[in-house]
Structure 1
Amino acid sequence: MYIPKHFEQPRIDVMQTLIRDYPLATLVTLSAKGLNANHIPLHWVEDDGSPYGSLHGHIARSNPLWTDFEPQTEVLAVFQSANAYISPSWYATKPETGKVVPTWNYAAVHAYGRLRIIDDPVWIRRQLEAMTQEFEAGFPEPWSVSDAPADFTERLITQIIGIEISVTRLQGKWKVSQNQPPENQSSVIKALSESGQPAMASLVADATKS
C-alpha cells in the first residue's frame, strides 16, 4: 500500500482498535485461478507469540476459498474505517487563496499473514461464542450462542469452516487531513460534524492532536 509519511500510522494498538471497530474485512487470497476477494467479519485475538495477534473467523463450507487458496502464499485482510468526501468549500483558506481541491478521507489497515483452515466443531463453536460476545456487547440484552437450540446450533456449525490468520505484519494509513493547515483541519472537523459524519470528524480531530 502506498503510504506517504504524513499519512502513516505506526502504532499497532491504534490499528488493532480500527480492526475491532470495523471488523468486516476484505480477505484477499491467491488460487490457481488468480486472486479471490471475500468479505468476512474477522475477530482480532491477542496472541502471546506475536505482537500483531491473529484474526479468527468462519466461512460457509460451500465457499471454495478454503479448498483452493495457495497455503504457502501470504494472504491480505483489508479493514477500512468510516470514510468521507471532503469538499474544498469546507476549507477556511478557500476565500483567501482559492487554492483548494476536493479529496477523500479514510483510514485503513492491511493485515498480512498465513491462513490456516480449521475444520473442528469445538474450535468453531468457541470462535462463534467469542465473536458474538464482542459484537453483542453494546446491546441492552446481548444474544449468545447458547440462546439458540443446541441441535440447531450444532447443525449450523457443520455447515461452516473456521479460519485463522496469524498476522505477520500490519500497515496503517490514516488519510485524515494531516496535510492541511490547522485552520483547515478545524473547519473540516466542524463541517463533518454538522453533516452527520461524527466518526470521520473524530478521526481528523485525533490526528491533529498527535
Structure 2
Amino acid sequence: MFIQPWDTALDEAEWKAWVADGHDFGQLAVNGPPGQPPAVVPTHFACDGDDLLIHLARPNPVWAAIEHDSNVTFTVIGDYAYIPGPWRAAPGIPAVEGVPTSYYAAVQFTCRAHVVDDPAGKADLLTRQLAHFQPNGDHAPVAPGQPPYGRMLSGICGLRLEVTAVQAKFKYDDHKSVQHRATVADLLTERGQGLDLPTAAQQRRRTDRIGTWKP
C-alpha cells in the first residue's frame, strides 16, 4: 500500500483506536496455489491481543491456499468518499480543472495464518468473537458436542492471524491548507451520502491534530 508522508498514521494509537471504533470487517487475501490468482474473502474479525480472529466455512477455497502458503494479508477499509474535482480546485484555477480524489482510511495487516480446526479450539475462538460482537452475552455457550452450536463446529475452520507488520493510511488531504480541509469537510457534511459524514469526521479529527502539515 503506497502511503504519502502526509497520509501516514500519526502514531500506533491512532490506527488502533480507528479499528476499535467499529471497524471490524475486512478482506482476507491469500496467495493462490501455483498458477492460480490470489483469493480474497470478505469477513468480520475480532482482535485478541495483537492477533486477529476469524472463521470461515469449511468449503471455502482459502484453506488449500493457506496450506500452501501461510503468509496472508488482511485489510480493513472505511470512512471513504469520492471528492469531486471542483472541491479541490486551487484558488485562481477554474473549478472544472480541479483534480478529484478519494478519501479513505485503511489498515493493512501482514500476517502468518494459523488454522484452528480442533473442536475445543474452534469453540474458544468463537467464544472470543462473540465476546466482541455480542458483549451483552445474549448467546448460548459454544461447547463441543453441546447444542445449539456444538454440532455446527464441524462445518467451519478458524484462523488465528499472527500480525507481523501493520501499515495504516489516513488519506484526507492533510497536506493542503487548514481552510481547504475545513471547506471539504463542510461540503461532505452537506452532501451527506454514503460514508460522507464519517469521512468528514475523520478529516476534521486529523486537521485538529495536525493543523498545518509540515514535511
The 1-side partners of 2:44 and 2:119 are apart by 19
Q: Deviations over 1:25-80 (max 9, x none)?
A: 2111113234111112111121xxxxxx1101101011131233255552100110
The 1-side partners of 2:157 and 2:23 are apart by 22
2:213 aligns to what? none
Deviation at 1:205, TM superposition (A): 0.7
Tell me, yes or no, if structure 1 residue 182 matches structure 2 residue 178.
yes
1:44-59 paired onto structure 2 within 5 Å: 44-46=47-49, 53-59=50-56
The 1-side partners of 2:148 and 2:70 are apart by 36
Deviation at 1:177, TM superposition (A): 1.8
The 2-side partners of 1:27 and 1:108 are apart by 14
- My pick for the range that moved more, 77-86 or 5-14, is 5-14
Query: Letter of the aligned partner of 2:166 in structure 1?
Result: L
Structure 2 vs 1, CA of residues 188 and 136 (structure 1 numbering), >3 Å: closer, same or farther? Answer: farther
RMSD over aligned Cα, in angstroms? 2.3
Tell me, yes or no, if structure 1 residue 168 matches structure 2 residue 164.
yes
Tell me, yes or no, if structure 1 residue 143 matches structure 2 residue 142.
no
Runs (5+) with no aligned partner, structure 1: 47-52
1:1-210 paired onto structure 2 within 5 Å: 1-20=1-20, 21-32=22-33, 33-46=36-49, 53-70=50-67, 72-91=69-88, 96-98=92-94, 100-137=98-135, 143-146=138-141, 150-196=146-192, 197-210=196-209
The 1-side partners of 2:200 and 2:19 are apart by 18
The 1-side partners of 2:107 and 2:19 are apart by 7
Deviation at 1:84, TM superposition (A): 0.2
Helix, strand or coil at the partner of 2:147 = helix
Deviation at 1:200, TM superposition (A): 0.5
The 2-side partners of 1:168 and 1:10 are apart by 20
Is the Cα contact below 8 Å between 2:30 and 2:65 reproduced in 1?
no
Helix, strand or coil at the partner of 1:179 = coil
Structure 2 vs 1, CA of residues 15 and 70 (structure 1 numbering), >3 Å: closer, same or farther? Answer: farther
TM-score, scaled to structure 2 = 0.82
* Identical amino acids, percent of aligned pairs: 22
Is the Cα contact below 8 Å between 2:87 and 2:98 reproduced in 1?
no
Q: Deviations over 1:60-114 (max 9, x none)?
A: 01113123325555210011012101123335x6664336321110010110010
The 2-side partners of 1:145 and 1:8 are apart by 42
Query: Letter of the aligned partner of 1:80 in structure 2?
Result: I
The 1-side partners of 2:69 and 2:13 are apart by 28
- My pick for the range that moved more, 128-137 or 31-40, is 128-137
Query: Letter of the aligned partner of 1:31 in structure 2?
Result: G
Helix, strand or coil at the partner of 1:9 = coil
Equivalent pairs, count: 198
Query: Letter of the aligned partner of 1:107 in structure 2?
Result: A
The 1-side partners of 2:128 and 2:189 are apart by 34
Runs (5+) with no aligned partner, structure 2: 210-215
Structure 2 vs 1, CA of residues 16 and 123 (structure 1 numbering), >3 Å: closer, same or farther? Answer: farther
Query: Letter of the aligned partner of 2:149 in structure 1?
Result: T
Helix, strand or coil at the partner of 2:38 = strand
The 2-side partners of 1:37 and 1:134 are apart by 24
